Amino acid sequence: MADSNSRVIVITSGKGGVGKTTTTANIGVALSHHLGEKVALIDADIGLRNLDLALGLENRIVYDIVDVVEGRAKLRQALIKSKSNQNLALLPAAQTRDKSAVSPSQMIQIIQELQEEGYTYILIDCPAGIEQGFRNATAGATEAIVVTNPEMSSVRDADRIIGLLEAQELHSPYLIVNRLRPKMVKQQEMLAVEDVQDVLGSNVRLLGVIPEDEVIITSTNRGEPAALLEGNLAGQAYRNIARRLKGETVPFLNLDEKTGFFDRIKSIFGGKR
Amino acid sequence: MVCREILYTELRYCVTTFMGGVEILQQVEITPWHNGLLNELLLTVPVEGTWEEVLSRVEANMQENKSSFTGRSPQITLHLGTRSVGVEDLDGLVRQIQTKYALLTVAVVSTDLTTQEAARRLALNVYMMQPGSALVFATSEAEAGNNALYLPQTIRSGQKIVHAGTVIVGGDVNAGAEVVAEGDILVFGTLRGLAHAGSHGDEKARIMAGNMRPQQLRIANTFAGAPPDAPPAKVRLTEVARIENGKITVAPY
């Protein structure tokens, strides 16, 4: 890539509905809002636009990625800056076209332009599946985050995706286990994080574990990513992920404490694990 | 695609050399070979040079050999060696050969992960070894041992390894992955996917795994599903599967 100072990370999963878009929005917010990075988010899910909703930017879209590719708009015109945070910008997907409207080489070109604009983190929200959309989303990326839920079908798809990423020279991807229910793990009704890691192998690097939380749904609906909510465990997990992504060593949240919800919150504020 | 798939399961490749990157191919070559059922062509592409150079050399060579492409839509296998070819590039070459010379590309020979994945996406068969010109089978155990294919990595969901000899996997074989070998299959890690040993009818073939957790085992023409009462996955089961009295039995190693 042209500018070695910026990181281009694709967020992918293979299976749909595991939380790629929510994860992209939350990491983007945490990196820009809490850590002061200049972040560009690319919604590569052309035809099934979602990332704008998760960020609450759906009313402000004028141009999209296909307009940029086809020359109807400049990249700068299509980028939507977050109201609350000038460090965060979104390049929305087109809703009326499909994946073939953009090619991998055009994607690489867009990423290079964003790097020239000085964005330090470029996060690409990959569509579900392993077809053209996946190829587009991974084309310009130099790192990958694989999101999975602790259930077999999701882990198998993640495994498939890791194989495809390796074939594209994207080795040792990061792993996020999303929607974990500690109680169910304890009762052996859900895969534990260790089980997921066991299947996917030692060369995937665990970046974080997000507990199942209804707040995620309400905050996504409202367009305010949970990472903005102080005192929310899932939001805390996303903020920790952003810090780990920057290279900090942050201990993993203890999700399976016997204590009640309020005690857990207190312990987070107290700095204890 | 379906008939192509069926056809190829019937084929046997002779085992001459294992090309693990040691063989360096200089020229674009087109050679006829008999795949066991019918005559085919084999296009060998050199490992050196840019992809553009390859395309132009293929073009030149094709023009030269045009007259020998006889028969009704002859089939061709591309031998790409250790070269890394992306799906767009490979698709381009396949189309070029199809539209200009009416040759149907059916398979790719490659040891490169990227190339193999690209070929799979284009619904082509993937082979790791160069197909031979005549059918030669191992006559002794010593010879058969030389045909072993060692894969140091984990075989992941969606990846399929087909090999004419024994396959040794240094990592795991995950659920959704397939390993098909004419000889034995040895998995040092956990076998979770599908393993088919003795794929051309060798009932003496065995499947060994450091942790035997398969979805299904196949040896020669026999198959067996996973038992419903397997102990929890954390208990490591080093086991061997073989055919006894016409059934696949799994026993501790």
A172 to chain B nearest CA, in Å? Answer: 13
Q: Cβ–Cβ of B157/A156 closer than 8 Å?
A: yes
Domain coordinates of chain A in residue numbers? 7-269
The one-digit pLDDT tens for each residue of chain A (273 residues) are 444 689 999 999 989 999 999 999 999 999 999 999 999 999 999 999 999 999 999 999 999 999 999 999 999 999 999 988 899 999 999 998 888 899 999 999 999 999 999 999 999 999 999 888 999 999 999 999 999 999 999 999 999 999 999 888 899 999 999 999 999 999 888 999 999 999 999 899 999 999 999 999 999 889 999 999 988 999 999 999 999 999 999 999 888 655 555 555 555 555 444
Model confidence pLDDT, tens digit, residues A20-40: 999 999 999 999 999 999 999
Q: Indicate the residue of B153, B154, B157 with minimum beta-carbon distance to A160.
A: B157
Report the distance separating Cα A100 and Cα A46, nearest Å: 9
Q: Cβ–Cβ of B117/A160 closer than 8 Å?
A: no
* CATH tag for B2-127 (out of 3.30.750.50, 3.40.50.720, 3.90.1150.10, 3.40.50.1370): 3.30.750.50
What is residue B30's predicted lDDT score, i.e. its pLDDT?
80
A253 to chain B nearest CA, in Å? Answer: 24
Q: Cβ–Cβ of A135/B87 closer than 8 Å?
A: yes
Q: What is the CATH number of domain A7-269?
A: 3.40.50.300
* CATH tag for B141-252 (out of 3.40.50.970, 3.30.70.3000, 2.160.20.70, 3.40.50.1820): 2.160.20.70
Domain coordinates of chain B in residue numbers? 2-127, 141-252
Two structure tokens written together for B80? 């790409």
Whether pTM > 0.90 for this model: the answer is no
**Is the complex ipTM higher than 0.85?**
no
Report the distance separating Cα A114 and Cα A109, nearest Å: 9
- pLDDT over 70, % of chain B: 76
The three state secondary structure string of chain A is CCCCCCEEEEEECCCCCCCHHHHHHHHHHHHHHHCCCCEEEEECCCCCCCHHHHHCCHHHCCCCHHHHHCCCCCHHHHCEECCCCCCEEEECCCCCCCHHHCCHHHHHHHHHHHHHCCCCEEEEECCCCCCHHHHHHHHCCCEEEEEECCCHHHHHHHHHHHHHHHHCCCCCCEEEEEEECHHHHHCCCCCCHHHHHHHHCCCCEEEEEEECCHHHHHHHHHCCCHHHCCCCHHHHHHHHHHHHHCCCCCCCCCCCCCCCHHHHHHHHHCCCC
Q: Indicate the residue of A104, A163, A198 with minimum beta-carbon distance to B157.
A: A163
Q: Indicate the residue of A104, A160, A198 with minimum beta-carbon distance to B156.
A: A160
